[in-house]
């Protein structure tokens, strides 16, 4: 152990001995090793400083000081106005009869520890010990990347943070009040459902500050198409069939009339996909257009389909205006409802329908 090392222990006896050597106390000067009352060892309150701030170390002098020094653990930072430390962040602030103050700029975690001010007065040596605690704001240093998984997968998100005091980690899903309270670095979501897709937020908190980051979970699942809604259209009018699919990733659509695949621009039709919706438009419905249509929604996880009937509706007249189009508009979404209401027309056009 070095001579300075003895300061760390700062037992009164050792401190006196070390002081004598450190401060080159003339041998003739009275050092009352047996007189404990003549030596003051003060443990001051802890100083808490945040990373990056400037730490001021102040030490009272008094009496007639012969030698004085500031130490960081076992190394001398300043002996009087003489700088021993090679650290450019350390500098002298004040050295006079009343105080001996140094500062350490841009404090870091490694500066945490014990600092000792050793003073030799004409009468007795004094050591003042200061515990420096360095606080570090939380910082998330390791976070899961955005992920894409298939429904049913087990998902584990990770969030690790540094900071002093050690940060508390919590997770929550943004856009959902349901809290996923977990005080763990890891958030486990077993057999994930599509409802649990979304943006998850990891928060690291300590006494000093908060750090927040987010992870997106995309849950892939096979398409589900809503039931087809049969559509009645008057000959020569515009007809529209709509097919909606819930899928991630978004579905591709295919349209069939019976077994025949339909393509855009074919026979006066237009097929437009907008997100989850595909729309098949007939600009001018002809006899041959009536019949059974099937929409198929496909993504890499699977497919789903539904069928629609496009049936004939008589040209609206004063009498059918009251019944016909209304029936279609009010159509409750169930093909049955439509059929009941339009029973009249179906009967009237049975010969037409027979063609299909």
Ligand X SMILES: *[C@@H]1O[C@H](CO)[C@@H](O)[C@H](O)[C@H]1NC(C)=O
Residues in contact with ligand X by the rule CB under 6 A: 45-46, 72-73, 77, 85, 87, 90, 104, 110-111, 131, 153-154, 190, 236, 284, 292, 294, 307, 309, 330, 332
For ligand X, the closer of residues 47 and 348 by Cβ is 47
Shortest approach of ligand X to residue 52 CB, angstroms? 14
Alpha-carbon gap, residue 218 to 220, rounded angstroms: 6
Alpha-carbon gap, residue 101 to 91, rounded angstroms: 9
For ligand X, the closer of residues 244 and 289 by Cβ is 289
Shortest approach of ligand X to residue 228 CB, angstroms? 9
How much is the CA Rg of the chain, to the nearest whole Å? Answer: 42
Cα distances from 4 to residues 95, 316, 324, in angstroms, run 22, 106, 103
Pick the closest to residue 268 from 286, 252, 250 (CA basis).
286
For ligand X, the closer of residues 16 and 269 by Cβ is 269
For ligand X, the closer of residues 31 and 129 by Cβ is 129
Contacts of 278 (CB under 8 A, 6+ apart): 242, 243, 244, 245, 253, 255, 271, 272, 295, 297
Shortest approach of ligand X to residue 328 CB, angstroms? 12
Shortest approach of ligand X to residue 309 CB, angstroms? 5
Shortest approach of ligand X to residue 342 CB, angstroms? 13
Total Cβ atoms within 10 A of residue 254: 18
Cα distances from 69 to residues 19, 82, 94, in angstroms, run 10, 9, 13
Alpha-carbon gap, residue 311 to 107, rounded angstroms: 81
For ligand X, the closer of residues 171 and 290 by Cβ is 290
Shortest approach of ligand X to residue 329 CB, angstroms? 9
For ligand X, the closer of residues 236 and 249 by Cβ is 236
């Amino acid at each position: 152990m070095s001579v300075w090392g003895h300061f760390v222990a700062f037992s009164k006896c050792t401190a006196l001995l070390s002081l004598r050597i450190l401060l080159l106390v003339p041998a003739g000067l009275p050092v009352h090793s047996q007189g404990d009352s003549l030596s003051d060892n003060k443990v001051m309150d802890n100083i808490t400083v945040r990373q990056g701030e400037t730490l001021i170390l102040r030490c009272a002098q008094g009496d007639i000081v012969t030698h004085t020094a500031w130490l960081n653990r076992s190394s001398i930072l300043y002996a009087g106005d003489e700088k021993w430390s090679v650290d450019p962040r350390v500098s002298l602030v004040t050295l006079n009869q009343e105080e001996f103050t140094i500062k350490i700029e841009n404090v870091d975690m490694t500066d945490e520890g014990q600092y000792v001010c050793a003073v030799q007065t004409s009468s007795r040596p004094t050591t003042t010990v200061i515990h420096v605690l360095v606080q570090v704001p939380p910082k998330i240093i390791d976070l899961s990347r955005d992920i894409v998984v298939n429904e049913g997968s087990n998902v584990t998100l990770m969030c690790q943070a540094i900071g002093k005091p050690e940060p508390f980690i919590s997770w929550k899903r943004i856009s959902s009040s349901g809290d996923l309270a977990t005080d763990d670095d890891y958030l486990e979501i077993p057999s994930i459902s599509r409802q649990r897709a979304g943006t998850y937020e990891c928060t690291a908190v300590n006494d000093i500050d908060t750090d927040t980051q987010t992870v997106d979970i995309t849950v892939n699942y096979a398409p589900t198409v809503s039931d087809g809604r049969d559509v009645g259209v008057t000959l020569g009018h515009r007809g529209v069939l709509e097919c909606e699919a819930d899928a991630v990733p978004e579905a591709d659509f295919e349209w069939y009339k019976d077994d025949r695949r339909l393509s855009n621009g074919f026979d006066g039709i237009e097929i437009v996909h907008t997100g989850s919706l595909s729309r098949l438009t007939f600009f001018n419905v002809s006899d041959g257009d009536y019949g059974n249509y099937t929409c198929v929604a496909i993504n890499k996880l699977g497919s789903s389909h539904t069928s629609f009937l496009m049936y004939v509706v008589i040209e609206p007249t004063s009498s059918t205006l009251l019944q016909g189009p209304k029936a279609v508009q009010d159509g409750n979404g169930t093909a049955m409802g439509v059929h009941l209401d339009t029973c009249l027309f179906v009967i009237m056009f049975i010969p037409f329908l027979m063609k299909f």
